[in-house]
């Protein structure tokens, strides 16, 4: 007499739900990154993927418990659903942790935002009102988000800023270089986060031939929470700029000195003029 061992239906559904949750997460992120769906639809799709992943995790645990008691087949299916469910829930757990660690803010700047306007694109003009931090909250959460002043000329500092923006791979949308009259120089660059949210960074450089001041703004264009990205971006960028300026001044002690005409050149010009007068006579 043969004893038939049945396959647990719980394990079958566990694998099915896990197999659905994975594509839901990947497809929704891909569509959002390529702007094939709006941010509102992306939130709906992400919520649906989270619910399916939770269901896969729950059903997998139930399946494993029943398999332990009944001895039915389906261990591989239940474990597959469990792994898929955990993998799909990992991004939600990560961003949930960031949401608890950082306040809900979408726009951070070292100075008045009116001095560093964003470059709006079609479709972002109706972005939600920015969520801001108070001065006390800024000092507590992002203490290094502060204006930088360097003993280095505006042109040289702006060159360092431009190099750092390029190294970060940001998409430059506006480039206003320094002028002979030392007007404000500015770079607007757009950054895309992994889930497809778009954020804009603005770096403003003012100063003279020997000193410069750097301010920065970072704002989310279509998100309701930046999960700390804007504040951390400013802190990381300005810290890297501090290192770049320090290295430049260490390796070139006279880098912050304006170019002056050497006395011998002036003497040479006077001798040339005197020779010309003698020849003319």
Question: Could you give the percent of the chain with pLDDT greater than 90?
Answer: 78
pLDDT for the residue 253: 85
Determine the topology of domain 107-251 in CATH: TATA-Binding Protein (3.30.310)
CA dist 94 and 97 (Å) reads 5
Dihedral over Cα of 46, 48, 51, 57: its sign: negative
Instruction: Give me the mean pLDDT over the 30-41 stretch.
Output: 93
Whether 122 has a pLDDT exceeding 80, the answer reads: no
| b/e map 132-142, b = 16+ CB within 10 Å | ebeeeebeebb
Query: Mean pLDDT throughout 238-259?
Result: 89
65/258: higher pLDDT: 65
Alpha-carbon span 87 to 20, nearest angstrom? 12
* Higher-pLDDT residue of 74, 264: 74
Instruction: Tell me how far apart the alpha carbons of residues 160 and 166 are, in angstroms, rounded to a whole number.
Output: 10
The torsion angles phi and psi of 277, rounded to 5 degrees, stand at -65, -40
In degrees rounded to 5, what are phi and psi of residue 201?
-110, 135
Q: Return the structure tokens found at 109.
A: 């700047």
Range 133-140 contact pairs with CB under 8 angstroms and sequence separation of 24 or more: 133/103, 133/105, 133/108, 137/103, 138/108, 138/231
User: For 97-104, what is the mean pLDDT?
Assistant: 96
**What's the pTM?**
0.85
Residue 73 has pLDDT above 70, yes or no: yes
Spatial contact of 178 and 197, defined as CB atoms under 8 Å apart: no
**Angstrom distance (rounded) from CA 161 to CA 188:** 11
Q: d(Cα 256, Cα 268) in Å, to the nearest integer? A: 27
Distances (CA, A) of 108 to 99, 129, 157, 200: 16, 13, 22, 11
Rg, the chain, Cα only: 30
**3-state class (DSSP) for residue 226:** coil
Diameter of the chain measured on Cα atoms? 133
**What is the pLDDT confidence band of residue 278, given thresholds at 50, 70 and 90?**
very low
Provide the mean pLDDT of the chain: 89
What's the pLDDT score for residue 128? 75
Q: How far apart are CA 113 and CA 202, in angstroms?
A: 10
Across the range 43-66, mean pLDDT stands at 96
């Amino acid at each position: 007499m043969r004893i038939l061992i049945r396959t647990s239906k719980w394990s079958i559904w566990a694998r099915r739900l896990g197999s659905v949750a994975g594509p839901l997460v990947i497809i929704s992120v891909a569509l959002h990154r390529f702007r094939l769906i709006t941010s509102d639809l992306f939130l709906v799709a992400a919520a649906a993927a989270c619910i399916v992943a939770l269901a896969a995790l729950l059903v997998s645990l139930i399946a494993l418990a029943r398999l332990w008691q009944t001895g039915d087949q389906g261990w591989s299916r239940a474990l597959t659903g469990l792994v898929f469910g955990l993998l799909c829930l990992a991004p939600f757990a990560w961003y949930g942790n960031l949401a608890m660690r950082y306040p809900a803010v979408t726009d951070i700047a070292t100075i008045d935002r009116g001095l560093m306007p964003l470059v709006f694109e079609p479709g972002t003009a109706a972005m939600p009102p920015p969520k801001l931090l108070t001065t006390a909250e800024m000092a507590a959460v992002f203490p290094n988000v502060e204006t930088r002043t360097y003993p280095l000329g505006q042109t040289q500092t702006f060159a360092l800023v431009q190099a750092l923006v390029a190294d970060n791979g940001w998409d430059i949308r506006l480039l206003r270089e320094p002028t002979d009259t030392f007007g404000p120089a500015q770079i607007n660059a757009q950054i895309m986060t992994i889930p497809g949210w778009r954020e804009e960074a603005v770096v403003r450089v003012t100063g003279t031939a020997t000193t410069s001041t750097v301010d920065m703004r970072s704002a989310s264009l279509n998100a309701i929470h930046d999960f700390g990205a804007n504040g951390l971006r400013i802190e990381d960028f300005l810290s890297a700029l501090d290192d770049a300026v320090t290295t430049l001044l260490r390796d070139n002690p006279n880098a912050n000195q304006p170019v002056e005409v050497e006395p011998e050149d002036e003497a040479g010009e006077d001798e040339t003029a005197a020779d010309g007068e003698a020849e003319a006579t």
